[in-house]
Structure 1
Amino acid sequence: MTRQDGADANGTDPQKLWLSPGNRGRGRKPAFTREAITAAAVSVADAEGLEAVTMRRVASEVGAGVMSLYSYAPDKETLLELMVDHVSGELPTAEPLTGDWRTDLKAIGHLQRALMLRHPWLPAALYARRSLGPHALAFLERALAALRPSGLDGAAKLEVFAQLTGFTATHVTHEIAQAAAARAPERAAAEARYLAAVAADGHHPELAEALSTPGSGRLLTPEATFTRFLNRLIDGLDTDTDTATATETGTGTRTD
């Protein structure tokens, strides 16, 4: 829900947040910068998770009083917006594109995965984000440029990028959970025994066939697994169907 002044229900005005950053009022020079406060919050989240990020904790990290932080970030939701854009600045945006949009989109997916693995809290934070900061916008611009040769219209390009980001965030969340489970081998062994028993009970023939397929139990590296799923996602995109659907519904962009 957005108010008439541009702020959402939590009072965050994206235009004020991103286009008029910082405390520019007259008087004494601020003791801290928004960048330093955001970097401190990111460090806490990297080490201990999003739950550990509180205004009090961040204030303690930078040696400030809690109340002084509110001039930089009025609430945790705003701080989260700043954190997401801060780490988005790690994404490269200047390298030349190949011109093969599928290849370039796959490279973007791998860059997103690497960023999310460096900052395991990021997938969850992306779902709560309400606006795009300058670093996120720069990476979106790169993705849209990569998709230009696809022939998709603007709306479809945005949908593809959102689909890619959502897929990557979901996969990384699962990947992190799997890595944690691997640190408890007895649990993994118990799960394997359970699935074997279910497959043998005669009530799940499709599962039994899938598990009996040669190679179904082979272990791939996390990178290889992600690459396989990513290739299926991007290679399966049908730009002709998207264009035809847009034309039929009147939402396509005319090229004549």
Structure 2
Amino acid sequence: MAPTPQQRRAARHQLGGGPDAPAARRGPSGGRKKPITVEAIIGTAFGIVESEGYEALTMRRLATALETGPSSLYAHVVNKEDLDELLIGRLCAEIDLPEPDPAAWRQQITSVCAQLRDQYLRYPGISQATFAAAPSNLDILRITEGMLAILLAGGVEPQAAAWGIDALSLYVNAYSLEVSLVNRRLAGSDDAWVVGRDELMRRFAALPETFPHTKRHAAELTAGTSHDRFDFTLGLMIDGLPRAAR
């Protein structure tokens, strides 16, 4: 008897992979179609997200792209949440985790966060798949393990390191989602909701005198690129982690 999707999912979590027997298919004209496999599902899903955004990725949309019905997908993935975990796991598998260095732990944890950010930004909105999810995918857990090792090597207290990873990951995910939303609005026909620095400065200057600090510090409020702010916020979070007494 062929393994169920649930058994395949359990095997992936235990071994980093699982049985994925391809099913040969025939189209209406009798020509052979490419078999449905987990790899085919993942690759097609990434293509949809890259071209149409994460919101467009549904099981029905994915099935259409694979020229099959949704029920065929459920022979390989349990549900949309399982697919999300596979996609995030695949992105996490490409993250380079350094050997923890007590002398460079700040730079190392910042690099891991920046790599995650860049992976998520490749696929608009995909960081949504990370919210409210308890990871069990080994590739995702590898990132948690690597980040924990880096923080502990830097002398961060274990509880602070554990919660610090949660906070850093949440910020990276939210930042990536915001940038994706801004880019989508810029690419749309109505970009009135996204304005540049000059326009923001003009609007702040036009505020009534009940906003004295905003008017006076408009330059500071609008300074820097989004990645500048990313680096600044990571620095605040990392430097705020309590470290064990030496």
Query: What does 1:57-136 correspond to in 2, within 5 Å?
Result: 57-93=61-97, 95-99=98-102, 100-136=104-140
Query: What does 1:160-175 correspond to in 2, within 5 Å?
Result: 160-175=164-179
- Name the residue aligned to 1:206: 213
Shift of 1:22: 4.7
Shift of 1:217: 6.2
- Name the residue aligned to 1:19: 14
**Counterpart pick for 1:42 among 43, 46, 61:** 46
- CA offset digits 1:224-253 (Å, max 9, x no partner): 33222222222233325xx8xxxxxxxxxx
- Tell me the percent identity: 23
- Measured in 1, the distance between the counterparts of 2:84 and 2:160 equals 28
AA aligned to 1:105 is I
Mean alpha-carbon deviation: is it higher for 176-185 or for 146-155? Answer: 176-185
TM-score computed with the length of structure 2 as normaliser: 0.75
Q: Is the 8 A contact 1:46 1:121 kept in 2?
A: no
Shift of 1:103: 1.8
Q: Evaluate the alpha carbon distance shift between residue 159 and residue 13 of structure 1 in structure 2; reply closer, same or farther with a 3 A threshold.
A: farther
- CA offset digits 1:19-66 (Å, max 9, x no partner): 386557xxx853432122122112211221222112222123233332
Number of aligned pairs? 222
SS in 1 for 2:217: helix
TM-score computed with the length of structure 1 as normaliser: 0.72
AA aligned to 1:18 is H
Question: Cα RMSD (Å) of the superposition?
Answer: 3.1
Shift of 1:180: 5.1
AA aligned to 1:98 is D
Question: Given the alignment of the two structures, is residue 157 of structure 1 paired with residue 169 of structure 2, yes or no?
Answer: no
Q: Evaluate the alpha carbon distance shift between residue 178 and residue 164 of structure 1 in structure 2; reply closer, same or farther with a 3 A threshold.
A: same
- CA offset digits 1:117-146 (Å, max 9, x no partner): 112222211114232311111121111111
SS in 1 for 2:61: helix
Q: Evaluate the alpha carbon distance shift between residue 98 and residue 150 of structure 1 in structure 2; reply closer, same or farther with a 3 A threshold.
A: closer
Shift of 1:187: 5.6
Shift of 1:179: 4.3
Shift of 1:209: 3.2
